[in-house]
Structure 1
Amino acid sequence: MASISESQVILITGCSTGLGRSLAEEALARGLRVIATARRLSAIEDLRDKGARILTLDVDDKPERLKSFSVEAIGAFGQVDILVNNAGWLLAGAIEENTPEEIQAQFNTNFFSVINVTTAFLPHFRSRKTGTIVNISSQGSYLALSGAGIYSASKAALECLTEVWSNELSPFNIRAVSVVLGAFRTSVATSNSKPPANTIEGYDIAHNFHRAFQARSGQELGDTAKAAKKLLDLVTLKTEKPLPARFALGEDAVYLTRKLLKRRLDELDEWDSYGMGTNVDGLRYEQADW
């Protein structure tokens, strides 16, 4: 086993509660060097007592400030090996009920901040020809939840972004994986969930979703401590195989992702005759090897 001074350095955003906290605690238990972040240091003081370096981070900060943060974070141990973009929140309500400001705020945290934080660390990863980017997504990206449509869309965008990164960063030996997270016992349904500023009568499906989502809080199937173990097993696995660009974590996420992908394939087969026959005369599509 590597000594503490030789172990990998993992930086995790959003460590106040939930999966971020469980990841920090599990990483410390494994002997990794941990940089735990939160908007308020008081929320993660106990992680410092357990051996983590703790830093203040607002992922919604401007890119210039995030670049300064990356310098500070890298300086803590001289390197960062694994970056976990975990911070996020859920905007509830029907899409029509969400204001432009709410929608922008949702994408700022769940999508644009991931670009900005990761971009701040990419020069470090590229110079060292190594690094792992872990973006925490949600099965909502596949479920397309009525009542959390903008949240689902932000996570779907995040998964596409991650898959692009997994391809274009591979020449630098940098890996990227999007974690399609199932329902776990976190604070997402309570303190990390925001109802819309306005409600519109008749959007019963959307409103019922949010009520049920909050009612189930604390009774979800998933245990974040077990999820942290599985996720760290994956990203620290010694293998020549590339990591999956999209990784379902949680029994419900594995089951529902498989079910929904099969449904999409069935739908494609059912309607493909309407999508074919559009080529310029005399030209055929040659299958590309992506």
Structure 2
Amino acid sequence: MAPLVWLITGCSSGFGQQFVHSILARGDKVIATARTLSRIAHLEQLGASTLQLDITSSQSSIDATIAKAISIYGRVDVLVNNAAFIQIGTLEDLQYEDWVKQFDTNVFGTIKVTKAVLPHFRERKSGCMVFISSLSGWVGHDACGAYAGSKFALEGIVEALNRETAPLGIKTLLIEPGRFRTNLLSSGNMKAVPSRIPDYADMSSEKMKGLAKEDQAQPGDPKKLVEITLDLVKGEGVAEGREIPLRMPLGIDCADELRTKCEETLRVLEEWGSVIRDTDLQR
């Protein structure tokens, strides 16, 4: 198989940077991007191409950057939408602008990058789109509503996108990490608003302490997640000879919480089935 060309967003740290290392180690080519180009300059020494890309820029600006990316090797085979940050705070404590910033990056920025790459994939009738979602795309934890909302939105958008593009020969993959040891909870990637409302004070304080303690202490190994993702895209390793799902939850905590939510949903459908179904107009 000819080497694949990967385009990755958010490569200054975490999963993005690990993708670059793992992709190059497998002999593929990678175009690494980040909001600040100097933060990924060292990746060029490893053999990556680098481009400045702020996914909150205008569609026309992103289109131009993607066109430049495609011109480097003449094509892009895999897009990995990885760039994101996490906003912490209760619904009452967060300002409207906080919600806009969260969705502007995690949802609308991802949409703009994908929209810029899709014409290239459609023309070639091939390509793979990887979206880094989260356990928060399934479960809304307290004081994480903005982040969970953005990931819930992403999951619905990508599910619809898959239905639109699968008949065109384009593959789609949602990776749903639990707690992995990345910089997501660092001061540069997490925006936290402690509650000023007495009713939420204790919960908010415990949440902030817990997240601070969790930073760089998460159990998940980013390299393992990235290697599994590469296997899924390339049909190698753990994915060889297996049907690839749209959604791939990864992490012990993710498996446990998803199972609990699915079981709760099935229980509601069972216990309230007659009420749920008895809603048609009577004729």
Tell me what 1:161 maps to: 157
Residue 68 of structure 1, CA deviation: 0.6
1:180 is paired with a residue whose SS is strand
| 1:187 alignment partner AA | N
TM-score (norm 2): 0.93
Mapped contact 1:179–1:249 kept (Cα < 8 A): yes
Mapped contact 2:56–2:109 kept (Cα < 8 A): yes
Mapped contact 2:7–2:30 kept (Cα < 8 A): yes
Residue 167 of structure 1, CA deviation: 1.0
| 2:278 alignment partner AA | G
1:96 is paired with a residue whose SS is coil
Tell me what 1:192 maps to: 189
| Per-residue Cα deviation, 1:129-164 (whole angstroms, up to 9, x for no partner) | 001111111101222111111100100111111111
For structure 1, list consecutive stretches of 5 or more residues without a partner in the other structure: 283-290
Tell me what 1:148 maps to: 144
Mapped contact 1:38–1:56 kept (Cα < 8 A): yes
What is the CA–CA distance in structure 1 between the aligned matches of 2:71 and 2:275, rounded to whole Å?
57
1:211-250 to structure 2, matched below 5 A, reads: 211-237=209-235, 243-250=244-251
Mapped contact 1:107–1:154 kept (Cα < 8 A): yes
For structure 2, list consecutive stretches of 5 or more residues without a partner in the other structure: none
| Per-residue Cα deviation, 1:173-195 (whole angstroms, up to 9, x for no partner) | 11111111110111111121001
Q: Say yes or no: does 1:30 pair with 2:31.
A: no
Mapped contact 1:70–1:121 kept (Cα < 8 A): yes
Aligned residues: 278
| 2:68 alignment partner AA | E
| 1:249 alignment partner AA | L
Match of 1:97 among 85, 88, 93: 93
Q: Say yes or no: does 1:209 pair with 2:207.
A: yes
1:1-290 to structure 2, matched below 5 A, reads: 2=1, 6-190=2-186, 191-196=188-193, 199-203=196-200, 204-237=202-235, 243-282=244-283
| Per-residue Cα deviation, 1:228-248 (whole angstroms, up to 9, x for no partner) | 111111111167976322210
| Per-residue Cα deviation, 1:45-83 (whole angstroms, up to 9, x for no partner) | 121000000100001011111111110010011000100
2:129 is paired with a residue whose SS is strand
> In structure 2, do the counterparts of structure 1 residues 129 and 241 end up closer, same or farther at CA, with 3 Å as the change threshold?
farther
2:272 is paired with a residue whose SS is helix
Sequence identity (%):
36
Mapped contact 1:163–1:177 kept (Cα < 8 A): no
| 2:94 alignment partner AA | N
Residue 87 of structure 1, CA deviation: 0.3
Mapped contact 1:93–1:207 kept (Cα < 8 A): no
| 1:209 alignment partner AA | K
What is the CA–CA distance in structure 1 between the aligned matches of 2:154 and 2:208, rounded to whole Å?
22
What is the CA–CA distance in structure 2 between the aligned matches of 1:124 and 1:134, rounded to whole Å?
15
